[in-house]
Structure 1
Amino acid sequence: MAEVPAREPRKRTTGGRRPQSVRRPKDGRPARPVVPGRAGRGRTVRAAAAFGLSTTRRAAVFAIVVCALALSVAVPLRTYLGQRDDVAVEEQRQAELRAQVEALEERKAQLDDPAQVEAEARRRLRYVMPGETPYMVELPDDGGDENDTGTGDEPKKGKAKDESWYQLLWNAVSRE
């Protein structure tokens, strides 16, 4: 077997920068000691580490906050949408009532004419002027006479008057 040469560990280069332990801020403050293992992390990690929360716990807290915000917005939004629908229905009803009021005002203006009132009285109330002779024309019923026998399913008109209510009921039930 061939021997595998051992790898030499890589050397870290600073890329022309001073090492972190010697680095000083530009605003003239004294240099802080570098904590191993925390180099390169942002402020959010430091803040979360200050509260002692792991990534999973932070995600759970974030989800709870989002749910609480969604619920606090959902109730007023539902109320707003419901009231908006109610307002639309009431506006439509108000428009219908305005149209009805206009029609009634127009009818009232028509009835201000005495000739129109007279025509309505003749037509609806069957009034006649003094000296006129009224005639009533009665048309025969379309149902027929009492002597008409009709079909076998319905009782005869003359016979129905003679039968009692319980006989009529029994006849209706027994025919099916």
Structure 2
Amino acid sequence: MTDGKSADRDTVALPRPRSGRGSAGPPRKAPRKPSRNRLTGRAGILALTLCAVMVTVAYPLRQYLAQRTQISNLKHQNQVTQQQVAALQTELNKWSDPAYVAIQARERLHYVRPGETGYIVPNLSAGSEPLGIPTPTQQAWFDRLWSTVKSPSATPSPSPTP
């Protein structure tokens, strides 16, 4: 290791500092301080291009997504309508049967066959007016009106309206 060749390899020649007075080269510029917001021209063009692409694509993408949503809603509405059509078709098939029509006429319209006696039993628990007939009031409307003309200071007693 005391070999002369290995000593030459281990030593590194360092450049000598130049002094500005006697040197023959151009004067050195002072090193620039790195700035924080240093933006190159390429980066600016790239940013501008990306913004332009985003603006160009934003509206059509929004329209595309809105149309997809509308198509989905219309498909759902179509399925619901198809189910309603199927239910109405089965109801129509029922009405083509004469026995079903006779049963519905008896239940809904209270039809009876010749020789039968029909009875209607009012459901008194459903309301105060049996069979949908309104109950008469104590005084007719024109009598109540005339009583207000005869004595305007007296207020007519409230009565149930038909």
Q: TM-score, normalised by structure 1?
A: 0.50
Q: Once the two structures are superposed, what CA deviation does each residue of 1:105-136 show, in whole Å capped at 9, x if it has no partner?
A: 11111111100001011111212222221101
Question: How many residues are paired up?
Answer: 104
- What is the Cα deviation at residue 61 of structure 1? 2.2
Question: What residue number does 2:44 align with?
Answer: 60
RMSD of aligned Cα (Å) = 3.2
Q: Which residues in structure 2 correspond to 1:83-162 (within 5 Å)?
A: 83-141=67-125
Tell me how far apart the structure 2 counterparts of residues 68 and 84 of structure 1 sit (CA, whole Å). 25
Question: What residue number does 2:157 align with?
Answer: 163
Relative to structure 1, the CA distance from residue 56 to residue 86 in structure 2 (aligned partners, 3 Å threshold; closer, same or farther) is: same
Identity between Structure 1 and Structure 2 (%): 35
**1:77 maps to which of 47, 56, 61:** 61
Relative to structure 1, the CA distance from residue 86 to residue 104 in structure 2 (aligned partners, 3 Å threshold; closer, same or farther) is: same
Task: Please tell me the residue identity of whatever aligns with 1:103.
Answer: A
Task: Please tell me the residue identity of whatever aligns with 1:163.
Answer: S
Q: Once the two structures are superposed, what CA deviation does each residue of 1:24-47 show, in whole Å capped at 9, x if it has no partner?
A: xxxxxxxxxxxxxxxxxxxxxxxx
Tell me how far apart the structure 2 counterparts of residues 116 and 107 of structure 1 sit (CA, whole Å). 11
Question: What residue number does 1:149 align with?
Answer: none
Larger RCO (CA under 8 A, 6+ residues apart): 2
Q: TM-score, normalised by structure 2?
A: 0.54
Tell me how far apart the structure 1 counterparts of residues 126 and 92 of structure 2 sit (CA, whole Å). 39
Tell me how far apart the structure 1 counterparts of residues 126 and 101 of structure 2 sit (CA, whole Å). 34
Tell me how far apart the structure 1 counterparts of residues 119 and 65 of structure 2 sit (CA, whole Å). 63
Q: Which runs of 4+ in 1 moved over 4 A?
A: 7-10, 141-144
